[in-house]
Amino acid sequence: MPKYFDKEHSLTFVCLYLKNGTKVYRSSRIKEDKISREMGMKGLRHRFIGSRYKGQFHTAIIFDNKTKSVLERFDEYGKKIYNHAGDQL
């Protein structure tokens, strides 16, 4: 069985701060040898922020896996409040 969510080789990951006080980390399926980082971010937004954990978190942050820098930040409603260009929204 292939390992789809490989933490070491994925380009991006999301950290969800849940309302019950726990943190959840999920990696993207996009690996270094595949498509761009933007596709990985799109998948994380769709799978975890927009559907699976919708309404359960108060902050969600998408990180670059290599540099560990913040790419996007979302509030509890799924609204983007920070993007990787460094602009506050």
User: pLDDT per residue over 22-72, tens digit each?
Assistant: 999 998 877 765 567 788 888 888 888 888 899 899 999 999 888 889 999
pLDDT of residue 88: 47
pTM of the model: 0.80
* Residue 47, helix vs strand vs coil: helix
Query: Does 18 fall in a domain?
Result: yes
**Beta-carbon contacts of residue 37 (< 8 Å; ≥ 6 apart):** 11, 12, 30, 64, 71
Domain extent at residue 23? 12-82
HSE, side-chain direction, 13 A CA sphere, residue 48: 25
Query: Does residue 26 belong to any structural domain of this protein?
Result: yes
51 within domain boundaries? yes
Which among 38, 31, 66, 57 is positioned nearest to 79, based on CA atoms?
Answer: 57
Residue 34 lies inside a defined structural domain of this protein: yes
Q: Is residue 72 part of a domain?
A: yes
